[in-house]
Amino acid sequence: MRLWHNTEDAPRLPHRVLEGERVEVWVASYPIGLWHHVMVDWKVTHRNGKMESGSVPAFCPKGIPSEEVHDLSLCQNLWLAHLGPFLEGDSVEYVVAGVSCDEDFAPQVFKFTIEEEEKNNHGERPRVRNEHRRALRGSYQHV
């Protein structure tokens, strides 16, 4: 089982995480299989030094059951896990790990820090075009 994350086809959204936002962790796997699953273990270090940790199972919103696969180009699973929301200044570290009936996958470690929310001269969040948001492709949203 091969896994990849933090790429164009399996991103972390949003890339720049602000306080109060939930984070989508997309993970791609190959080959597809009924006994594969993906876990995301996370650890948060708050500004005050307090630490929290947990584990989130990823689900497969676009998976194709292996008995239905006849074209090898379709043999890719996309997994999704949600993290957060977090507080400004939190440092988040997460590990993407996969398990199949044959073997365990070597985990990958990723990190990000929750940034301060930007405001314009009127005290409002600026609107920017977000090309990376799947559901809002090409639309404007507050960041």
Distance CA 45, CA 105 (A): 26
Q: What is the pLDDT of residue 33?
A: 67
Domain assignment present for residue 94? The answer is yes
pLDDT tens-digit map of 7-60: 988 999 998 999 999 999 999 888 776 667 889 999 999 999 999 999 999 987
Range of the domain at 13: 2-118
Domain assignment present for residue 97? The answer is yes
Local confidence band at 104 (pLDDT 50, 70, 90 cut-offs): low
pLDDT top residue among 43 and 74: 43
Tally of structural domains, the chain: 1
Q: What is the pTM of this model?
A: 0.71
* Structure tokens belonging to residue 62: 């676009």
Which phi and psi angles does 72 have, rounded to 5°? -60, -25
Distance CA 90, CA 48 (A): 9
Domain assignment present for residue 109? The answer is yes
CATH number at residue 56: 2.60.40.10
Domain assignment present for residue 131? The answer is no
Domain assignment present for residue 53? The answer is yes
Domain assignment present for residue 139? The answer is no
Domain assignment present for residue 135? The answer is no
